[in-house]
Amino acid sequence: MRLHINSKSLTCLLSATLCFATTAFAANTSAVNVKTVTYRDAAYYPEHSTAAEVIAKHNSKVSAEISATVVSVNHDTGDRVNQADTIIALDCRSYDLQLQQAQASNDAVSAQYENAKKLFASAQKLQKQNNISQELYNQRNADASRLKAELISTKAGIEAAKIAVDRCNIKAPYDGYISERFISKGEHVQPGTPVFQMITSEQGRVDAHINNLEYESFLQGTDYRFVFNDVSYDLSVESILPVLDKDYRTHTARLVFSGKPAPTGSHGELKWRDSKLALPSSLVVVREQQAGVLIANSNTAKFIAVDSYTEGHPVSIELEADSRIITTGRHGLLDGDSITVMPSP
C-alpha cells in the first residue's frame, strides 16, 4: 500500500506551526457571520429593588413627669385618641396646694411691693424739697427694688406650680393610637416612669437602606414604588443621607406615599427605575481591558467603549435607535473585522 502526499500536505507536515498560522490568518480575513438586535429592542430602563419598611412618623413612649399615684386610666391599648386627650390622671392634691401657696405668696409680695412703690414715690418728692435724709431715701429705693424682684420670683413660682398641676393629667401628644399601656390605677409613678406607648395616626413613611453603588441611580431614578403583599404604592423621595450609615454602610432614604399608603409596620420592597436607558450586561464585551459593545457598521464590526461599567450590571449607553448590536458571533470579534449580518428568523 502506497501513501500519496501532495506538496501542500508535505509543507504542513514539515511545518505545523506555519500551516496553522496561515489557516488562522485566512479565517480572520474572511467575514464572520453574526446576528444583531436593534438598540431600541435591547435597551431598557433598569429596575432596582431593596428591602424597605413603613415606619410611623411618631412612635412615642410617654412617661410621667411628676411623682404621684395613678387615680384613673381613661384609655387603653388599641384606643384612638386625639391630641391633648387625658390618658392617665394622677393624684394632684399636693400640687394643687403648692399652687395655692404660690398664689398666696405672690399676693402678699404684690401688696408689699405696691406699698413700697408709694413710699418711694413720696421719698422722691421729699428729696426734691430737701426734706428727707439720703439714707432714708436709699432705703425706700432698695425696698421697692427688692420687692419687685421678689414679685418676679413669686410669679415664676405660680407658673412652675401650674406646670406641675398640668402634668397631673398625662395627655396624648398627638392624634393617634395607644399601642401599649404600662401602668394601672393605684400604682405610684416617678418622673421618667413610662405609662403608655403611642403611635401617630398620620400615614407612615418608607424607610430603606440604599447600597452605595446604587446611590446615583436612586438620586436620578423614577417610578418609586413600595410593594407589599403584591400591591404597589406610589412614592416620592423625601430625603436621602449623602453619608453612609455607620452600621449598614448604606445610605438611609425616606420616602412618602403619593396616594394611598401601605399599613404602618409593613415590610416589603422599595423599587425604582433608572432615568437612562441601558443594555444588558450580557451584550458587553471587553477588548484590551476596555468594556464596550460591538455594533454592525455596514459590513464591519465597530467597538463602542462605555464608561463606569460594573461587571454583571446593566451598562448605560446612548446609541441611535436603529443601531444594530452584535449578539451572536461577537466572541473573538475585534473592531474593524469583516462581518456578514445574518437575517433574523
Range list of β-strands (E), 153-265: 169-171, 176-181, 188-189, 194-200, 205-210, 222-228, 231-240, 251-257
Instruction: Determine contact, residues 202/58, Cβ cutoff 8 Å.
Output: yes
C-alpha cell of residue 141: 429705693
Distance CA 74, CA 61 (A): 17
Count CB neighbours of 123 within 10 A. 21
**What local confidence, expressed as pLDDT, does residue 29 receive?**
58
Which of 182, 262, 190 minimizes the C-alpha distance to 225?
262
| pLDDT in single tens digits along all 345 residues of the chain | 333 444 434 334 333 333 433 333 344 458 999 999 999 999 999 999 999 999 999 999 999 999 999 999 999 999 999 999 999 999 999 999 999 999 999 999 999 999 999 999 999 999 999 999 999 999 999 999 999 999 999 999 999 999 999 999 999 999 999 999 999 999 999 999 999 999 999 999 999 999 998 999 999 999 999 999 999 999 999 999 999 988 889 999 999 999 999 999 999 999 999 999 999 999 999 999 999 999 999 899 999 999 888 888 899 999 999 999 999 999 889 999 999 999 876
C-alpha cell of residue 165: 398641676
Structural domains of the chain in order of their starting residue, each with its CATH number: 31-44+278-341 (2.40.420.20), 47-57+203-273 (2.40.30.170), 61-91+168-202 (2.40.50.100), 93-166 (1.10.287)
Starting from the edge strand earliest in sequence, which strands make up the sheet with 80-81, in order? 59-63, 194-200, 176-181, 80-81
**What local confidence, expressed as pLDDT, does residue 18 receive?**
34
